[in-house]
Every structure is written in structure tokens, then in C-alpha cells.
Amino acid sequence: MRELSIEGAWVVEPQVFLDSRGSFHEWFKGDRFAAATGHGLGLAQANCSVSARGTLRGVHFADVPPGQAKYVKCVRGAVLDVVVDLRTGSPTFKRWEQVLLDDRDHRAVHIAEGLGHAFLALTEDATVVYLCSEGYAPAREHGIHPLDPDLAIEWPTHLTPLLSPKDSSAICLAEAEERGLLPSYAACTAWYARQRATLIPAQP
């Protein structure tokens, strides 16, 4: 696991074993996850989405606490995965990072609570699975328009983005901040500290 420039965002680069039958890799290891992040990943929900080429999903985030941490992987095709720091007061507020997730290198991304998440399908039937620390709760879920010029995410220009009605009508970052919808860095770091305090050390 390698931490990105945004605190709480990690990319996982597994070792893939290839032979004449196909391949094998471990895409999640609880002990390695805890050693890197300092806390475990509680599993409350597992999702799978299949997207046509050009589909753009996000930017999604949830109220903190409890937020919704995600562990994301593409099991078929390829997507451009984006993490956005939406935590007001964060030293990297509004910064975003992109990671290519595909069925060849088998990278995964961990997105901590309070961070925004989006992805663009680069292939037909791009299939993404993700583990979630909390279940879907509509009242706590929010979205920022993925094409908001204030975020200025550099999406590939050769694809015409296909957005859901919900994502296409999402508000801009400035409006979300004005309405007090964005999570605060202080609340998020306090939540992370609480998670670290409850991590049970592995037995020898």
C-alpha cells in the first residue's frame, strides 16, 4: 500500500501471479491494510457497478461521522479513478489525484471518510467492485458535479461524459461549502483517531 498526496487516500499495488491457467492476486489483506493505515476496514456493504464506456460517476461523499470509507477495484476493463479532498480546513483541500484501475495491473484504491470519489469508465462494461465501511444512507450522501471548473479535474477529452440525472444536477463545490455540506478536516481527523484507538493489535 502506498499513500497518495492526499491524507487518507491509498493505492494498493498487489503482486499478480501468472501462469498458463491465468492469474491470482490478493486484492485485500486486513493485516496489511491495518499496518499501513493504522486502523481496520469495517465491512458494512459491498457494491458492484457495470458502466458503459464514457460513464462518469461521482463526485460522491458522505457526512462525517460516520462517513463512508471505500476500497475500490476494477475487475473488468478499465476506469480512471479520482479521489478529491473535500475536507474544509485540510492542507490539501480541493486537491485531486487520479489512479488507473484495470483488470491487468489489479490496483485498488482506499478512500477514507470525508474524501470525494469519482470514476470514468474507459472501456465498455467496466466493472468496479468496492467495499464500504458504512451502508448506503441517502440522507447522509452528497455529490459535487464532476465537471465543476473549481475542481478542474482533468478528465480524458476523447470521451463524452455520460452522467446520471442525479450527478448531472449535482451542485458545485462552492455551493456545497456555502451550505455547510462539506466535511471538516477536524471532524475527519478526530474520526480517524477514534478508529486507530479501537484497532486491536494482532496476537503474536
Mean pLDDT of 158-165: 97
pTM equals 0.94
Name the pLDDT band for 198 (thresholds 50, 70, 90). confident
Q: In what order do the strands lie in the sheet with 96-102?
A: 96-102, 78-85, 115-121, 56-62, 141-143
The reported pLDDT for the residue numbered 61 is 98
Q: How far apart are CA 5 and CA 2, in angstroms?
A: 10
How many Å apart are CA 188 and CA 182, to the nearest integer? Answer: 11
Residues 6 or more apart whose CB falls under 8 angstroms from that of 191 comprise 64, 65, 66, 67, 113, 114
Average pLDDT score over residue span 72-101: 98
Q: Bigger pLDDT: 60 or 198?
A: 60
Indicate whether 173 pLDDT > 80: yes
Place of cell 486491536: 200
Catalytic residues: 60, 130
* Predicted pLDDT at 202: 47
Residue 197 pLDDT exceeds 90 = no
